[in-house]
Amino acid sequence: MLSVIRQAKESAGAPGARLRARWSRRRLLEKLAGIPGVYIPSFYSVEYNKNGGVQSFTALRPELQSCVRRRLAPDLNDAFFPTAPVVPLAEAVHERGMLEVFRGCTRGCRFCQAGMIYRPVRERDPRTLLRQAREIIDKTGYEDISLVSLSSLDYSDLDGLLPALGDQCTLSRTGISLPSLRVDSFSVGVAQKLPGGRRTSLTLAPEAGTQRLRDVINKGVTEADLLEAVAAAVAAGWSAIKLYFMVGLPTETQADLEGIGDLVRKAQRAGRSARGGKKLRFSISASSFVPKAHTPFQWEGQLPRQQLTESHAFLRDLVKSSGADYHWHDIKTSFLEASLARGDRRLAEVLFEAWRRGCRFDGWTEHFNFDLWQDSFRAAGLDPEFYAGRRLSYDEVLPWDLIDVGIDREFLVREHRRALAGVATADCRLGSCEGCGVCPSFGVEPRLVKASR
Ligand code: SF4
């Protein structure tokens, strides 16, 4: 924010000289609005229709565009990246250095907001990454460095990067970790070879129990991929596996829930056979589907809470009968998340009310008070169900249409229709452009260090 203010002040006069000038809040907002990518809500009005949805947006100043366009860094090698972050004295949750290998992901999972709004893929050169990793380790003293991208093992020059990074990290006795793995034996093999890479538990996310539903969400993972990954994990010495699934996905049926039970049993068998008859510890984690803005599933509603509760209870019994643990994400929290994820600016009042009534640290179950949130919605005269559960139509104005992320609406509609028909869409890194619109819209291209493998 400070750099944006600096930019606003510098664009208004001589660089540096005016930085100390005091501007009124109004003047500052006016100047900030002139910077591409900055959204000042009070400079737009929203009109609502009779059913409570958004009817239109109006820019209140003639110089403003009808919507706000996000900014995009075409080449991450030139972009700022913090290599000397503040290191807290207290133990932090993620106590490691972060190395952003690339930005964007075009695998095209249809529920994933990050996979849509950060397109196209822009990889950093290995030399930039090695330099940044060295600086992070030198300046922070962290003993672990994490490759944080949406699917880090999709980096096109992994064969060039990892050995060099591994050598550098071995010298400084730094481990390399990966926040998520693709569901395949290749990824497991790579993770095992990383310095400090083999830990007790490995996490894989097939997301859905049947191939039909995995095609609906465009997950691009098969049962064979999962079973091979489990066998590879055993061969690499892992003794516990966590599997992630989502409940309440669009078009889900009872057969899809039963499919999760089947898949878990098959994975257990694959693990036991790879361990010479010894059992592998499995833990199953399931969240509830939350429709997100700017994704092909933005028009889908979340299932009613009662139905989600029944689905999770059914799955818990199914999974526990096979001897695996089952954990599910709190349904009320997911409901609240869905209400906010597809909300409009009227929810600002709900947030303020909730804060006023004492809601704090709601992500921690011991602090989460659903009643307070319901009271806050009531006080604002709004219904959370309206935002979370309503199925939206293609022709209605969406509250987030005011923000242009560069993805064509037609592409999202096409992807939604393909989802309902169970048709997968390929990753544009591996073949031709799938026409999401972001590259022509920004005049950029995906930046891969190496052509697709
Ligand atoms: S415009 Fe084409 S190449 Fe660019 S991100 Fe979208 S699908 Fe990929």
Cα–Cα distance for residue pair 174/172, rounded to 1 Å: 5
211 pLDDT more than 70: yes
β-pair partners for 57: 46
Q: Which residue has the tokens 């481990």?
A: 175
| Mean local confidence (pLDDT), 281-293 | 97
CA of 337 to the centre of ligand 1 (A): 29
CA-436 nearest atom, ligand 1: 6
| Mean local confidence (pLDDT), 353-362 | 96
Let me know if 137 is exposed, middle or buried by CB neighbors in 10 A (0-12, 13-18, 19+).
buried
Strands (E), 100-170: 102-103, 122-123, 144-147
What pTM value is reported for the model? 0.92
> For a substitution probing ligand 1, which of 122, 439, 444 has the most ligand atoms within 8 Å of its CB?
439
**Is pLDDT larger for residue 90 or for residue 70?**
70
CA of 434 to the centre of ligand 1 (A): 6
> For a substitution probing ligand 1, which of 117, 119, 409 has the most ligand atoms within 8 Å of its CB?
119
Q: How many alpha carbons fall within 13 Å on the CB side of residue 381? A: 2
Closest-CA residue to 341 (of 386, 388, 297): 388
| Mean local confidence (pLDDT), 214-241 | 94
**Is pLDDT larger for residue 190 or for residue 331?**
331
Q: What is residue 199's predicted lDDT score, i.e. its pLDDT?
A: 64
| Mean local confidence (pLDDT), 172-185 | 88
Residue nearest to atom 5 of ligand 1 (CA): 120
Cα–Cα distance for residue pair 223/107, rounded to 1 Å: 18
**In the predicted model, what is the mean pLDDT of the chain?**
93
Radius of gyration of the chain (CA): 24
CA of 210 to the centre of ligand 1 (A): 28
Task: Give CA torsion, residues 179, 183, 189, 190, to 10 deg.
Answer: -40
Query: Which segment of 159-163, 200-204, 290-294, 340-344 scores lowest on mean pLDDT?
Result: 200-204
Query: Which segment of 73-77, 172-176, 410-414, 444-448 scores lowest on mean pLDDT?
Result: 172-176
Task: Give 167-178 pLDDT, tens digit per residue.
Answer: 999 888 999 988
Q: How many alpha carbons fall within 13 Å on the CB side of residue 231? A: 13
Confidence of residue 453 (pLDDT cuts 50, 70, 90): very low
CA-434 nearest atom, ligand 1: 7
326 pLDDT more than 80: yes
99 pLDDT more than 60: yes
Task: Give 328-345 pLDDT, tens digit per residue.
Answer: 999 999 999 999 999 999
Q: Which residue has the tokens 């799938």?
A: 434
Task: Give 115-134 pLDDT, tens digit per residue.
Answer: 999 999 999 999 999 999 99
Q: What is residue 198's predicted lDDT score, i.e. its pLDDT?
A: 56
4 pLDDT more than 50: yes
| Mean local confidence (pLDDT), 273-300 | 95
CA of 402 to the centre of ligand 1 (A): 22
CA of 119 to the centre of ligand 1 (A): 8
Map out the domains of the chain with their CATH numbers: 2-69 (no CATH), 70-180+431-453 (3.30.750), 198-346+382-422 (3.30.750.200)
Query: What length does the chain have?
Result: 453
Where does ligand 1 bind, in terms of residues with CB under 6 Å?
Answer: 106, 119-120, 428, 433-439, 446
Task: Give 12-37 pLDDT, tens digit per residue.
Answer: 654 555 556 788 999 999 999 999 99
Residue nearest to atom 3 of ligand 1 (CA): 433
Q: What is residue 197's predicted lDDT score, i.e. its pLDDT?
A: 63
CA-104 nearest atom, ligand 1: 5
